[in-house]
Chains A and B, each alone.
Chain A
């Protein structure tokens, strides 16, 4: 099939960007969306033009590096799927696809479709951990965790940190990301000791990074490639309130 692409091109964080139109021919339905970009880039290089910069790494939907805003939706039209796992069979011959970078003040564009998500790392550094030094742990089975709690914690922990929640949110809020980590540790006995400090530090850092605040549209949940639930955001709110009241 033949596809028309309108892709955001921006040389670096300082210069202004614009859309460029490209035509990609003979796209196979078995190609992944990124493989279609590979083909396009190959053509651009052959033509002596600069290829489109985009972030990607594992190409199996788990590293969280790929980040394209496709036809008005992060990671494209499917639910529970990253850009790298989106295949061209989700599109039709003759389609025009608009591709933009994640847009948020806290995710400045580096080049073309690649953005800087280091704000997520700083939020994690603020409290997304259990303070346990190597070598101090007791036997793993001495901590009993009900299966339901472990499963719930796992669902929250499945977050890949791609930032689709921020990209989807009309407010560029990072609440789903933050709440997933806070929830994982709040649900487990290991996370109890630092429960209050953790949520306060992480929320403070989130606010400092310039993310918007949540208005419960639920767009994050709908677009999350790992189907992280907004129940986590409610839990985050609860954790934060109780931490603030207890302090």
Chain B
């Protein structure tokens, strides 16, 4: 059933041995030859920085490109909650198999078993590596590492550094990267954006990049190119992604032959600060770790919800019996810790039913009052020997504990909303957060273009249809530190005879001309509407019709609307300024142009997948209780889209075989 164009190159053997065997038999490159082999890394987040640093340590010549002003700003930095690893430091029964199992199950049985198992296998090494670099993870008083639990699992395997885990991990990888920059093994190109890949004789041999300060186009040769450019959540305009996060690098590669895998799998994160108005430029996540202690609810009575929306009722005045803790009600086993897709849909379901609690009707409460007083407050009171503490005492004692755990998040919430979450429940609503889909890659992380790799969120491979919390950091670093350094050898060992190709080669010239033409075309539209105008419109279409819930007719409408919007864009966009200067509007325009193509493909993919799985929820395919209904018979495959012409695609299937995990209905009840 798997398309002949797709070979995942999964090694033979038992799951538990595949990686270790493969690693020991993969082709190696002689150190002397590594010095002559050049690798281009696009993106400097967890995947890019860790890959670049490790490859440079191994002796390869590396060039790293990022559009930000410094490698340290990549959006991995914003990850809050933590990173998973099967260390079993808590002695709660964790193991590589259990992490593998949880990840496959969390991904709703739509990920590739072999990749996911490898991810679980190397997870422990990541923690070791990061600690050795000086990443200041949270610790217990005895000096050992501390763990917490995240959604979708029953063990404590998440390592964290307050609410800034992504930052600390990225700064660790960045420091490794800068160390190699210092030695000259890596050449860093900040404020550069990759605008095309260059293929020669069927292999990827370099990129065209635009210097964002001068606007000049540059040609760079590499024996291999690694795309570590992150996800495409900004296709929705509003998301938790950084403003600059984009699909451009992956999309250009897609247009040059790299298949795009599972584009419709997007993760909607349940705990974000709700939209406050039309001016909104991005959405801010409140870490999933808050769900450890916050209880999610809406009023039981519609009239209460209406009164809250109208500002006539203080939520604190609603009696416990009149509150609907809907996650605890629907999923007693996991309660507030169900996976993200489940929690998000449940919030949408309540709001759609009219129980939303902010002015727009699109928000639910995340309430700390109970745990603050009766869990932490009571614990502290007992510790201090206070008998019969007053409510105020409980509050004061509990507040200190909550502050220690989540202080920065509470401050951030107050900063953004102007509401103090110690006294009032937070309001949250789901928002686009992560894209499980991405460039299709084989076991080596190579795309369908030889020599072109995709790592981290930019590829599709490990999370199936839904990613578990604290697994994105794990995957980015696994790919960069522990997978690509081995698997790239399989390709580069055959390239030792290839001398560096001159960037005067006609393929480079042609690619650069193509980029120039596209930029000229954009600049010459000279229309009347700003780039954001189109981006917002696209985002609205995507969110409404290809968002948390999708249906066939909506998706068909979306496709037509996007095609129409794309036409308008190319007829009416206005980009002020010059091409050959620092021009953020031009940068945005290029990215939105790519989103306008990707959006259509996402809808096509969502339309063909006649089932509900993970982040992809098709309204037509649900159980009577409103749970997602998978169709393993017909849809246990990865959709890999090949671009065959201008906005023309052919879908190829990679069949997913589950040999080591019994495929089952996902239940968190």
A residues near B (Cβ < 8 Å) are: 11-12, 28-32, 34-36, 38-39, 41-42, 44-46, 48-51, 53, 55-65, 78, 80-81, 85, 87, 89, 110-111, 114, 116-118, 120-121, 124-141, 143-147, 150-151, 153-154, 157-158, 160-161, 184-185, 188, 190-191
Contact = CB atoms under 8 A, between A and B. Distances in A.
**How big is the B interface, by class?**
35 or more
Contact of B138 (A131, A139, A150): A150
B125 A121 contact: no
Contacts of B625: none
Contacts of B125: 135, 137
B77 A62 contact: yes
A131 B127 CA distance: 16
Contacts of A36: 279
Nearest to A117: B69
User: Of residues A59, A60, A61, A153, which shows the largest number of chain B Cβ atoms within 10 Å of its Cβ?
Assistant: A60
A53 B242 contact: no
Given A144-B144, A160-B77, A161-B70, 15 more contacts: A28-B277, A48-B574, A56-B243, A63-B77, A64-B70, A114-B582, A117-B69, A124-B178, A133-B57, A134-B481, A135-B129, A140-B131, A141-B145, A157-B171, A158-B164
A51 B585 contact: yes
A57 B70 contact: no
Contacts of A80: 411
A112 B178 CA distance: 28
Contact of A65 (B73, B135, B181): B73
B136 interface: yes
Given A140-B87, A146-B143, A154-B161, A188 B136 contact: yes
Contacts of A45: 530, 574, 576, 585
B96 interface: no
Interface string B77-111: 11000000001010000000000000000000000
Contacts of A12: 581-582
A184 B175 CA distance: 12
Contacts of A191: 134
B49 to A, nearest CB: 11
B262 interface: no
B144 A141 contact: yes
B54 interface: yes
A135 B483 CA distance: 11
B244 interface: yes
A202 to B, nearest CB: 11
A64 B416 contact: no
B78 A140 contact: no
Contacts of B280: 35
Contact of A111 (B142, B416, B581): B581
Nearest to A187: B136
Contacts, number: 232
B213 interface: yes
A6 B129 CA distance: 48
Interface in B154-181: 161-162, 164, 166-168, 171, 174-176, 178-179, 181
B136 A154 contact: yes
B279 A132 contact: no
Given A85-B415, A190-B134, A63 B161 contact: no
B530 A46 contact: yes
Contact of B136 (A49, A50, A117, A184): A184
User: Of residues A51, A129, A161, which shows the largest number of chain B Cβ atoms within 10 Å of its Cβ?
Assistant: A129
A58 B73 CA distance: 8
Given A124-B178, A129-B175, A34 B281 contact: yes
B12 interface: no
Given A42-B530, A62-B164, A153 B54 contact: no
B530 A150 contact: no
Interface of B: 50, 53-54, 57, 68-75, 77-78, 87, 89, 125, 127-145, 161-162, 164, 166-168, 171, 174-176, 178-179, 181-182, 188, 190, 213, 240, 242-244, 276-277, 279-282, 284-285, 411-412, 415-418, 481-482, 485, 528, 530, 532-533, 574, 576-577, 581-585
A35 B53 contact: no
User: Of residues B129, B417, B485, which shows the largest number of chain A Cβ atoms within 10 Å of its Cβ?
Assistant: B129
Given A28-B277, A137-B125, A130 B69 contact: no
Nearest to B179: A129
A32 B532 CA distance: 17
B179 A125 contact: yes
Contacts of A137: 125, 128-129, 131-132
Nearest to A59: B282
B576 A50 contact: yes
B78 A62 contact: yes
A154 B162 contact: yes
B174 A49 contact: no
A192 to B, nearest CB: 10
A157 B69 contact: no
Nearest to B240: A60
Sorted from nearest, which 8 A-B pairs have the closest CB atoms? Answer: A144-B143, A137-B132, A129-B175, A125-B182, A137-B128, A154-B136, A140-B131, A129-B179
B178 A150 contact: no
A118 B73 CA distance: 12
A80 B132 CA distance: 30
Contacts of B161: 154, 157
A147 B167 contact: no
Contact of B179 (A114, A131, A153): A131
A201 to B, nearest CB: 9
20 contacts: A28-B277, A48-B576, A51-B584, A53-B583, A58-B73, A58-B78, A59-B243, A59-B281, A61-B412, A62-B164, A62-B166, A63-B68, A85-B416, A121-B70, A134-B485, A135-B125, A140-B145, A143-B131, A153-B136, A157-B135
A235 B534 CA distance: 51
Contact of A118 (B70, B74, B532): B70
Contacts of A129: 133, 175-176, 178-179
Given A12-B581, A53-B582, A65-B68, A110 B77 contact: no
A89 B417 CA distance: 10
A8 B485 CA distance: 46
A63 B530 contact: no
Contacts of A153: 134, 136
Contact of B139 (A28, A48, A147): A147
A110 B412 contact: no
B188 A134 contact: no
User: Of residues B87, B131, B136, B138, which shows the largest number of chain A Cβ atoms within 10 Å of its Cβ?
Assistant: B136
A147 to B, nearest CB: 5
A196 to B, nearest CB: 16
A161 B175 CA distance: 13
A234 B576 CA distance: 48
Given A134-B57, A140-B87, A141-B89, A64 B582 contact: no
